[in-house]
Structure 1
Amino acid sequence: MIEHLLTDLRRVSSARLQLDAPTVADAPALHEIYRDPLVWTHCPRSRRTSAEQTVTMLQSWIADWDRDGLGQWMVRRSGDAFGVCRSGTHGR
């Protein structure tokens, strides 16, 4: 059977990085990333200029995890969030 392949992917870690499903507590760190115009030089439409835009996006990510068991991860090093990455059913 495939049961041994099934796992909770809300937290995945390696020796250097930790990937966590986002929580509402991630809103300030996520907004720091998404409001920075330098981060979005090559994709300016993805930039979030207000905290409200970021919170709305974050709520949709949390809903993805609740619905699908996969979604956007917060990337952390030494406990500090510094990026995001995605798994799952994007564009569903």
Structure 2
Amino acid sequence: MPAPLHVADPILTDRLDLRRPSAADLDDLHAVSSDPRLWLHYPAKRRVEPSETAEVIERWRREWEADGLSTWAVRVRGHDRVIGYGGCGKLGGGVVWNLGYRLAADQHGHGYATELAAEAMRMARLVDPDAPIVAYLLEHNTASARVATKLGMALVHRGPDAGNPDPAAIRLVYADRPLAPDELAAAMA
């Protein structure tokens, strides 16, 4: 199997500066990862300790090396502060790309999530065009569902969210194309 195409670093969109996260980004990334306002959809996933965020940064580094693409630290162009993170990482042993993003609360409403997600999808299609792109979200996260829809993704699954501490939680999976059963299973794993 050939080595994966690796995406340039940084990537500049019209308004955003997308870079591989580094240890220098820990404080800003932890501010986003630990903000309870950003975890209302799934409070149990909030990272309380900086060491938890450092572990995630390390996981992203490994994903960049293995897959050629993963999660970026997001800045507004011309500014030093990291305002969030997002990108596409592989799920299910590399069967599907998972599109994800989380931006600081004071950055909501500017269209940054859509801009970031569009670039992540573009890069995922360059790195591994055969792998579908999914957005895996909870039903009450309507803002993320709007972003997925704006990007042309369609709802391909709605069902109980296995493992969620909230037994009433409903998981939605949006995808950029119809999913085969193994691809849906990978997205749900």
- Whether 1:28 aligns to 2:5 is no
Q: Identity over aligned residues, as a percent?
A: 32
**Matches of residues 59-78 of structure 1 in structure 2 within 5 Å?**
59-77=58-76, 78=79
Q: What is the number of equivalent residue pairs in this alignment?
A: 87
Distance 2:36 2:55 in 1: 19
Deviations 1:6-64 (A, max 9, x none): 66333211231111111111111111111111111112122100011111111101111
The runs of 5 or more residues in structure 1 that have no matched partner are 1-5
Change (3 A) 1:25 1:16: same
Letter in 2 for 1:52: S
TM-score (norm 1): 0.82
* Equivalent position of 1:88 in the other structure: 89
Alpha-carbon distance in structure 2 between the residues aligned to 1:13 and 1:64: 21
Partner of 1:57: 56
CA distance in 2, matches of 1:57, 1:65: 12
Q: TM-score, normalised by structure 2?
A: 0.43
Distance 1:75 1:23, change over 3 A: same
Higher CA-based Rg: 2
- Where does structure 2 lack aligned partners over 5 or more consecutive residues? 94-189
Aligned to 1:40: 39
CA distance in 2, matches of 1:39, 1:79: 21
Give distance in 2, aligned partners of 1:8 and 1:50: 30
CA distance 1:28–1:41, shift in 2 (3 Å)? same
* Mapped partners of 1:7, 1:58: distance in 2: 18
